[in-house]
Every structure is written in C-alpha cells, then in structure tokens.
Amino acid sequence: TFSREKMADVASAANTLQERSRMLPPAETRYTVEPEYRGAHVDHFFNFFEGIRTGKPVVEDATFGLRAAAPALACNLSYFEDRIVRWNPESLKLA
C-alpha cells in the first residue's frame, strides 16, 4: 500500500496537471442498413428452416449452440451454488 506521504505526492501531482480538452460525444448516431435487410434473426431462422426443409446442414448446429451457451450457464451455476464449476469443451460436459 502507499504511504501517506506517497499518497500526498500523487494527489499534489494530479492538481498540477494542465487542463486537457475533452472529447464530446457525437450529437447523433445513425445506423443504416440496406432497405431489404430484415435483421440477423431473420437470417438465422431462414438458415434453420432451410436446413429442415432440404436436409442441408445448418451453419449453427446444436453442438455450436452448446459450445456457445454452456460456459455461460456453467458460470451461472457456479455463482448460484457458490462453488467452482469446471467445463470440458472437448467432451461438452461439466468436469
């Protein structure tokens, strides 16, 4: 920890800094997309339903979803049960 003298030195040095210019936030932020774009959810569902209809593999299959969601769910389990939870990404199971 800092001694009282060191803390006083740091505080006095901060007071002697020159005033700096501040960056102002933009007055307005605009997000634009092509008029026919309906959102990522539409793309995701289209891909999923197309895979069901045609039998083609989907981009994000069940394993992809489990790999994405399981670590977050393991964090919640660890938090709520107040214990360490270990996740094995190769076997896709709690260790």
| Residue range 59-81, pLDDT digits in tens | 888 898 999 999 999 999 999 99
3-state SS class at 31: coil
Kindly report whether the global pTM for this prediction surpasses the value 0.85: no
3-state SS class at 34: coil
| Residue range 24-45, pLDDT digits in tens | 888 888 888 898 888 888 988 8
Residue 66: count other Cβ atoms within 10 Å of its Cβ.
Answer: 13
CA atoms within 13 A on the CB side of 23: 2
